């Protein structure tokens, strides 16, 4: 995607609505005569300032509250938002103050990356040549691979709030955006016409939470028929029942009148859950009842029977469906070590290691890697290089492990990649040319192995960091076309001040990328961004831009392969062990000023 769109507010991302439900246990008792009356306030950080987003109801005299209030937030894969849950003892219906002596504890989190991470530190420290360098990123602890977080509550200065814990359940509510195809018919409907049979049609209304009725579907009219078979119709689950299988549906059968004065035949109530009871060879039936006839006629049975003869559920899966089903995002970084970067010993070099300020390669790596690492349970990442002469024979290589272990090119977390990069620089000779097709082909071949498994267990992201236009453009186009058939997305970040105009060819926004032979890509998998567009922006802005299209690319790949998500990973009920949490990693959480 063109970087300009993201820079000016971002492309339309893959967004879902996520519901957060909150409960607490073993809260501190601040009241003398009664127990605390807890309320949870959800705070959001915007431009460094904490503001209240929403709050739960107050539960009277309860140290183990389960709140009915549901927090609803937008989910974006590519950006993170800091949240804070604060628990207060509220005095009276009109007392909404948040004094220190009413503070029962709190916890900070980073949302909305799927893993819904608990924020342990506001800054991540990386060692650059032995010197500690602070980078605006986060060290996180996963809390919702199972859609659930249980964390201890803290008072000011990282002091535990006794044994108090908070539990947050996360559930996607707009991911269930499938649709259903319904096949209705009826038998022995009442005859409302004098000289002919009824002309029946069916209406289905959704009953909303406020009791209002919303028309969902109206069938066609079947002329002169007491045993109509209506055409099957498709309707989204959101429209039909707001994705609530137990929501009441009011169904009305009418005898059509051309003047608009339709005669009421009967009605029945159903739910989508009832509809799904249909099985092989079996049907779901409802008595079509006319309340007036039921009151007047002693032996009244019904005004006919409405039958659901078939139901076909078509699920449209979302990115979160795949992630919650255990799909891992494997992250690989490929770094440009060509001579055009400059001698790493020179402060003007793009590879110069400043102990106090990371270079552009490190900034891009950390910004993107910090997001991706929370979608990979083992947090091991492949780190490759190209365009350098490497030991022991110092032959030019366009695909080498920067840890110089060809049998295992993976590093432990992003910190491990940073260290491997630093250790690699003194051992290699920057050379050229800028050939990236070998690495793209390698990762495409690796991801092709996932295709044989036939499940949605692993998807690959390849981050290529380069200081110039690739010299093997034809081979690169061919490699990308081949890779577009695999579970792989490619992100290219242009480092430095070179003219990257020709690199836009690889990004399919201005047209479909084709191989030199004219074969088009199966799907758009490349995102190119010049780093200079984000030099003064936060790392989060860069990550947001380059990762915005990944969720759609994941869904597009698995949808094309007709691969459904795996069943959701079961929840873990036990809270994080306090004994295993280092004190220096605990957040200093207190009431918001």
The full 3-state SS of 86-149, as one line of letters, equals EEEECCCCCCCCCCHHHEEEEEEEEECCCCCEEEEECCEEEEECCEEEEECCCEEECCCCCCEE
State the residue for tokens 């820079």.
7
Please give the DSSP secondary-structure letter assigned to residue 579. T
Buried b (16+ CB within 10 A) or exposed e, 463-472: bbbbbbbbeb
Phi/psi for 437 (5° steps) reads -60, -35
Structure tokens at 446: 């690796």
Beta-bridge partner residues of 354: 357
Domains 3-175+574-585 and 326-547 share a fold: no
* Distance between CA atoms of residues 381 and 360, nearest Å: 19
* Distance between CA atoms of residues 495 and 534, nearest Å: 11
* Distance between CA atoms of residues 320 and 13, nearest Å: 13
* Distance between CA atoms of residues 462 and 152, nearest Å: 36
With CA atoms as reference, report the closest residue to 253 among 284, 227, 283, 282.
Answer: 227
* Distance between CA atoms of residues 323 and 146, nearest Å: 10
Please give the DSSP secondary-structure letter assigned to residue 448. H
* Distance between CA atoms of residues 241 and 238, nearest Å: 6
* Distance between CA atoms of residues 176 and 16, nearest Å: 10
pLDDT score of 53:
87
Q: Could you tell me which CATH number the domain at 3-175+574-585 has?
A: 2.60.40.150
Question: Is 39 in contact with 93 (CB distance < 8 Å)?
Answer: no
Crossing angle, helix 360-372 and helix 539-547, to 10 degrees?
60
CA 32: distance to chain centroid?
45
With CA atoms as reference, report the closest residue to 525 among 495, 558, 559, 491.
Answer: 491
**What stretch of H or E contains 160?**
strand 160-172
Structure tokens at 582: 């280092």
Please give the DSSP secondary-structure letter assigned to residue 208. -
Coil vs helix vs strand at 45: strand
Other beta carbons less than 10 A from residue 11's beta carbon? 19
pLDDT score of 109:
80
Contacts of 422 (CB under 8 A, 6+ apart): 128, 129, 353
pLDDT score of 540:
79
Question: Is 67 in contact with 30 (CB distance < 8 Å)?
Answer: no
Cis peptide before 25 (omega within 30 of 0): no
179-314 adopts what CATH topology? Immunoglobulin-like (2.60.40)
* Distance between CA atoms of residues 573 and 79, nearest Å: 28
Beta-bridge partner residues of 87: 40, 105
Question: Is 171 in contact with 161 (CB distance < 8 Å)?
Answer: no
Other beta carbons less than 10 A from residue 530's beta carbon? 20
**What stretch of H or E contains 458?**
strand 458-466
* Distance between CA atoms of residues 137 and 129, nearest Å: 19
Strand 328-336 and strand 458-466: pairing? Answer: parallel
Tens-digit pLDDT profile for the chain (593 aa)?
A: 333 333 323 333 445 667 788 999 999 988 777 888 899 999 988 777 888 888 988 888 889 988 878 888 776 665 666 889 999 998 765 455 556 668 999 998 876 433 443 322 222 333 333 333 333 223 233 323 236 788 999 998 888 999 999 998 876 655 456 789 999 999 999 998 778 899 999 999 999 888 888 888 889 999 999 999 999 998 888 778 887 899 999 999 999 987 778 899 999 999 999 999 987 678 999 999 999 999 988 899 999 999 999 999 887 788 888 888 889 999 999 999 999 999 999 999 999 999 899 999 999 999 888 888 878 888 899 999 999 999 999 999 999 999 999 999 999 999 999 999 999 999 999 999 999 999 999 999 999 987 777 889 999 999 999 998 899 999 999 999 999 999 999 999 999 998 888 888 888 655 689 999 999 999 999 999 999 888 888 887 888 888 888 988 999 999 888 898 988 755 444 333 333 333 333 334 455 54
Q: What residue ranges do the domains of the chain occupy?
A: 3-175+574-585, 179-314, 326-547
* Distance between CA atoms of residues 536 and 538, nearest Å: 7
With CA atoms as reference, report the closest residue to 306 among 250, 228, 235.
Answer: 228
Q: Could you tell me which CATH number the domain at 326-547 has?
A: 3.40.50.410
Contacts of 371 (CB under 8 A, 6+ apart): 77, 78, 80, 113, 543, 547
Q: Could you tell me the pTM of the whole model?
A: 0.59
For the chain, what is the radius of gyration of the CA atoms? 30
Strand 488-494 and strand 458-466: pairing? Answer: parallel
């Amino acid at each position: 995607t063109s970087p300009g769109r993201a820079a000016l507010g971002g492309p339309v991302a893959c967004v879902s609505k996520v519901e957060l439900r909150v409960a607490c246990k073993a809260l501190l008792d601040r009241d003398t005569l009664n127990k605390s009356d807890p309320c949870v306030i959800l705070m959001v950080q915007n431009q460094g300032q904490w503001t209240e987003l929403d709050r739960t109801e107050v539960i009277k005299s309860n140290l183990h509250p389960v709140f009915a209030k549901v927090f609803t937030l937008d989910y974006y894969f590519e950006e993170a938002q800091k949240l804070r849950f604060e628990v207060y003892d509220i005095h009276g219906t009109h007392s909404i103050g948040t004094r220190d002596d009413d503070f029962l504890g709190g916890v900070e989190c980073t949302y909305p990356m799927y893993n819904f991470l608990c924020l342990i530190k506001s800054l991540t420290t990386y060692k650059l040549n032995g010197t500690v360098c602070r980078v605006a990123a986060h060290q996180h602890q996963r809390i919702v691979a199972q859609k659930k977080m249980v964390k201890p509550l803290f008072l000011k200065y990282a002091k535990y709030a006794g044994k108090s814990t908070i539990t947050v359940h996360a559930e996607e509510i707009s991911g269930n955006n499938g649709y259903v195809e319904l096949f209705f018919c009826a038998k022995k409907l009442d005859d409302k016409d004098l000289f002919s049979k009824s002309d029946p049609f069916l209406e289905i209304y959704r009953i909303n939470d406020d009791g209002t009725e919303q028309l969902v579907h109206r069938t066609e009219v079947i002329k002169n028929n007491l045993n109509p078979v209506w055409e099957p119709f498709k309707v989204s689950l959101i429209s039909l029942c707001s994705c609530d299988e137990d929501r009441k549906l009011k169904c009305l059968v009418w005898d059509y009148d051309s003047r608009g004065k339709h005669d009421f035949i009967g009605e029945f109530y159903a739910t989508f859950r009832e509809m799904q009871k249909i099985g092989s060879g079996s049907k779901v039936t409802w008595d079509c009842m006319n309340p007036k006839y039921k009151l007047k006629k002693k032996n009244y049975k019904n005004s006919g029977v409405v039958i659901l003869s078939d139901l076909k559920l078509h699920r449209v899966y979302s990115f979160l469906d795949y992630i919650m089903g255990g799909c891992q995002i494997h992250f690989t970084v490929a770094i440009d070590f060509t001579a055009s970067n400059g001698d790493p010993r020179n402060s003007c070099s793009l590879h110069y290691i400043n102990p106090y300020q990371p270079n552009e390669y490190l900034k891009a790596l950390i910004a993107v890697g910090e997001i991706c690492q929370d979608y990979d349970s083992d947090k091991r990442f492949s780190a490759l290089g190209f365009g350098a002469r490497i030991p022991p024979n110092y032959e030019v290589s366009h695909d080498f492990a920067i840890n110089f272990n060809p049998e295992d090119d993976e590093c432990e977390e992003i910190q491990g990649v940073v260290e491997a990069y630093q250790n690699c620089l003194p051992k290699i000779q920057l050379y050229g040319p800028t050939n990236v097709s070998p690495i793209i082909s390698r990762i495409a071949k690796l991801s092709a192995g996932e295709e044989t498994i036939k499940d949605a267990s692993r998807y690959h992201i390849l981050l290529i960091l380069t200081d110039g236009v690739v010299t093997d453009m034809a081979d690169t186009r061919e490699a990308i076309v081949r890779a577009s058939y695999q579970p792989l997305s490619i992100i290219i970040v242009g480092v430095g001040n070179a003219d990257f105009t020709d690199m836009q060819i690889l990004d399919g926004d201005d047209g479909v990328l084709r191989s030199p032979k004219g074969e088009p890509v199966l799907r758009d998998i490349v995102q190119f961004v010049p780093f200079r567009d984000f030099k003064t922006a936060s790392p989060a802005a860069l990550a947001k831009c380059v990762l915005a299209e990944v969720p759609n690319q994941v869904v597009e790949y698995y949808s094309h392969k007709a691969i459904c998500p795996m069943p959701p990973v079961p929840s873990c009920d036990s809270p994080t062990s306090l004994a295993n949490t280092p004190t220096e990693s605990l957040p200093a959480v207190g009431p918001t000023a």
